[in-house]
Amino acid sequence: MSPVPVGLGGGGGALSTSLSVLRGVASSLSFSHLRIPGPDRSSSLLGRSSSLNLLGFSHTSLLRRLVMGSPPAEAGVEAAASPEKSGAAARDCKPDEAGDGASADAPVVTLSKSARKKMEKRERIAQERKEKKAASKEQKRKESAQKKEEAYKLWDTLTEEEREERMARKRANIDAMRGSRDAKRARLDEAAKTAVRVCVDLDFLNFMGEKEVNSIKTQLGYVYASNSKATHPLSVTFASYTEDYEKALRTVESWRNWRGVCFEPRSYVDAFTDTTDGGAGGDVARVRPVSNRTDIVYLTADAEEELGPTLDPTKVYVIGGIVDHNQHKGLCHSRAQRDGVSCARIPIDAAVQARIKGSHIFTVNHVFDMLLGVNGGSSWSAVVEQNANLRTTE
């Protein structure tokens, strides 16, 4: 039997019972904002059904909204449900699920069957994840302990000469790793002083959200990784490196050890036109200024002029450090015109251009990898094809 909404019939006795139940629950749960009129005002309530916006909620639905802490501003009130439904609701109620401030006589409202199933599913999944993580951690611990035990047993079976040979190989590997590390550091330090200068303009925080800033942070990590592995690295500067980027890079544990990188707080124009030494990257990572603003080349796809076949060591190539999903078209080009610097675009031949998927706008690390490849002797067509998202050809 479906409940009968107030105002559509149903009898004054059912209405009085319904209102008494709601008053008891509101009193026990201390909902001071809920006002239920008494039986003597039943006719007044019926007469003002339009102003109360009676939507036909059942008792269980309305009480559940109250118990869950989000009672509607204008709740509908129904007449009492059938005895069968009332008995089933009473059987679903559990004494230990009542609120701390509820009295023993107050009716207890539980979650619906669907809501309980969803809650139980979430709890079960969370528990399974926790158990799986603990089991994986325990398995790794056992494997590590087993490997150590096997290594100790093997060591005990070796002769003195074999032990010496193993130790010699280990020392040689350590020395080789140290030599490679020292050579890489020397190569990056030398590149910061003499190599072609590339700058990433980070002055775009006002155009990006948190997600885009995190993406730029990741791309800066790729820039350094590519430069540190290159045989012919570039001199890298991160301009407009403010406190906001400082906070973002704190999640990158090794950024303070980046060699050959200048973290410059000034804008790219001030950094490369000011003759004073204001670099903030270290003893060797200092900005080398240019003689003229036209020697600063802002790379943008909106430029009419293309870059030459090789990089000019007297120029500074600026990459716009922005992720905007093509929402701010022409922003880097207009900035270059505003600052009075040159602008150019990466040359892409017609064959490769026809095979590029989507936009011809590349990420910061992709543009840097192209410059790095050309600096190492590759052609523009080769580096563009290597870094562009190309369509497959049949």
Phi, psi of 285, deg, nearest 5: -90, 75
CA distances from residue 171 to 162, 174, 177, 180 in whole angstroms, order as listed:
14, 5, 10, 14
CATH, range 186-387:
3.40.1280.30
**Once rounded to an integer, what is the mean pLDDT over residues 280-300?**
76
Q: Note whether 197 and 235 are within 8 A (CB).
A: yes
Q: Which of 177-186, 232-241, 372-381 has the lowest mean pLDDT?
A: 177-186
Q: Note whether 72 and 65 are within 8 A (CB).
A: yes
Strands 235-239 vs 261-263: parallel, antiparallel or unpaired: parallel
pLDDT digit string, tens, across residues 95-130: 444 444 445 555 666 788 899 899 999 999 999 999
The answer, yes or no, to whether residue 92 has pLDDT greater than 50, is no
Q: Note whether 318 and 268 are within 8 A (CB).
A: yes
pTM exceeds 0.75: no
Q: Note whether 5 and 56 are within 8 A (CB).
A: yes
Between residues 207 and 227, which one has the greater pLDDT?
Answer: 227
Strands 342-344 vs 197-201: parallel, antiparallel or unpaired: unpaired
Q: What is residue 84's predicted lDDT score, i.e. its pLDDT?
A: 45
pLDDT digit string, tens, across residues 232-276: 999 999 999 888 777 776 666 677 788 888 988 999 999 998 866
Q: What is the DSSP string of 62-92?
A: HHHHHHTT---SS---B----HHHHHHHHHH
Residues 6+ away with beta carbon under 8 Å from 195: 232, 233, 234, 235, 313, 375
- Burial level of 129, CB count in 10 A (0-12/13-18/19+)? exposed
Q: Note whether 259 and 188 are within 8 A (CB).
A: yes
pLDDT digit string, tens, across residues 149-175: 998 999 889 899 998 998 999 999 998
Domain boundaries, the chain: 12-110, 115-177, 186-387
pLDDT digit string, tens, across residues 61-88: 554 555 455 444 444 444 344 444 444 4
Helix boundaries (H) for the chain: 12-28, 42-47, 49-52, 59-67, 83-92, 113-157, 160-194, 210-229, 243-249, 268-273, 331-339, 350-355, 364-375, 380-387
Question: From CA 33, how far away is CA 280, in angstroms rounded?
Answer: 60
Angle between helix 364-375 and 210-229 (nearest 10): 20
Question: From CA 293, how far away is CA 61, in angstroms rounded?
Answer: 71
Question: From CA 394, how far away is CA 10, in angstroms rounded?
Answer: 75
Strands 235-239 vs 197-201: parallel, antiparallel or unpaired: parallel
DSSP conformation class of 285:
-
**Once rounded to an integer, what is the mean pLDDT over residues 322-342?**
85
**pLDDT confidence band for 279 (50 / 70 / 90):** very low
